[in-house]
Structure 1
C-alpha cells in the first residue's frame, strides 16, 4: 500500500521585513550593546584608579553588578589595590557616581533597552511570517535564525501562531512487528512515477 506524507521542504526565504528585523537585532547585540558595556567597564576602571579608597562593595551599590562580578570585570584592567580609609583622616566621604560614569551607565542601560525592543520586534516578525506561511515548519524557520526550532516554537506559542505540522522525511518505511508494511513518500514525487494510482490524493 502506498501512502503520501507531508510535502517536501517549501524552499522558503525570509521576507524583507524579517530580514530587516533580524539585521536590526543583530546590530544591537553584536555592536551597540557590547560597545556600550565596554565603555562602561572602562569607566568603572578609571573611577577605581581615580579613587583608590573606593571599594568594590561601595561601588556595587550604584551598579547592576555585585562586588564579586566587579572584581572579575576589573581583573585585567590595571586597577590598583584598594587603600583602607584611616580614622585619622576623619569620616570617610560619601561616594556618589561621577558624572562621567553616570553617563556611561545611562548609555549602557539604553543599549540594553534597545536590545529588548529589537528582540521583541524580531519575535513579532517571526510570528507574522509563520502565520503568513501555514505550511512553514519551525525547523525551516530556524534555518534562517540564530536560534533552534525549539526557540521558534516558544516564540510561536507566545504569539498564538497555529501549531505547525511536522514534515516527514522524503521516504519513510512503516513497519509492524518488525515487518515492512508501507512506505510514505512525498506526493509530488509519487504522482510523477509510472503507474501512479490517481485515487491516491495529497493529505
Structure 2
C-alpha cells in the first residue's frame, strides 16, 4: 500500500549531551529522597554520609515545626496561622492530625483584641528551608522538560514514543510536555497507517490523527486544536 508520508524514521536516536545532563540532575534528586528516608530511619547512606535535605525531609520538619508552634500557643488559631503559610486552615487541620496538637481555644470578646501573630524565627527558617528544597526540585524538573521540548524541536521527525524510551515518563507525559512548550505536532510516518480487513478483504484504513489534521478538507468536527 502506498503511504501518504515519505519521511523516514530517525534511526538510532540518541539523546543530546544537554538532555542527558538534565536527566541526570533530575534522577539524582529523585534517588536522594528514598536514601534520605533510610537515613531518617537509622540506616546509613551508601557513602556513610547523610545526604542534603530533600523536599520530603524539609516538609516533614516544617510540619513538625507548625505542630510545635500550635502546642506552645493555645490561642493561635489555624485560620490565623494559615495566613502565613501556603496551606488553608482545613489543610493544616489535616496535617496536624495525630501530632498531639491540642484543640484551639476560641478567643473571647471580653478578653479584648487578640495579639497580632508573627511567625517565630524557628518556623520562618523551616519554611525557608522547605521552599528552597521545593524550588530546587521544581527547577530540575522544569529544566528537564525544557530539554525534552528543545530536543523535539531540533528533531522534527522524532516521535514522542521514541524519546520516551530514554526518559522516566511515558509518551503521553512527553506529549503533555510538548504541548506546554508549544512543540509543533509530530508528523507521523506512513507506516503508522493501519489497514482493517474483514474476512481477508480490506474494508478501511485508519490514519494517524496528526497526519489527518494536516490534510485539505479535514472534518472540522474531528480536528481539535
TM > 0.5 between the two? Answer: yes
**Alignment of 1:14 onto 2:11:** no
| Structure 1 gap ranges (5+) | 184-203
Residue correspondence of structure 1 range 66-105 to structure 2 within 5 A: 66-85=88-107, 91-105=113-127
Q: For residues 118 and 105 of structure 1, what CA distance do their matches in structure 2 show?
A: 20
Q: Which has the higher contact order (CA 8 A, sep 6+)?
A: 1
CA RMSD of aligned residues (A): 3.5
**Which structure has the larger Rg?**
1
In the TM superposition, 1:1-203 aligns within 5 A as 2-3=1-2, 10-28=11-29, 31=33, 32-85=54-107, 91-167=113-189, 172-173=194-195, 179-180=201-202
Distance 2:55 2:27 in 1: 10
Q: Which moved more, 1:71-80 or 1:127-136?
A: 127-136
SS in 1 for 2:76: coil
Structure 2: how far apart are the matches of 1:148 and 1:137? 12
Partner SS state of residue 84, structure 2: coil
Aligned to 1:200: none
In the alignment of these two chains, the number of paired residues is 182
Q: Distance in 1 between matches of 2:142 and 2:83?
A: 30
**Structure 1 contact 173–180 (Cα < 8 Å) conserved:** yes
Cα distance in 1 between the residues matched to 2:116 and 2:204: 80
Normalised by the length of structure 1, the TM-score is 0.70
What is the CA–CA distance in structure 2 between the aligned matches of 1:69 and 1:96, rounded to whole Å? 20
1 CA distance for matches of 2:107 and 2:181?
56
76-85 vs 6-15, which moves further = 6-15
Please list the CA deviations of residues 40-78 of structure 1 after superposition, one character each: whole Å capped at 9, or x if unmatched.
111111111111221111111111111000000111212
Structure 1: distance between partners of 2:60 and 2:189:
45
Question: 1 CA distance for matches of 2:203 and 2:66?
Answer: 69
Pair 170,86 (structure 1): closer, same or farther in 2 beyond 3 Å? closer
Task: Return the alpha-carbon distance in structure 1 between the equivalents of residues 204 and 109 of structure 2.
Answer: 88
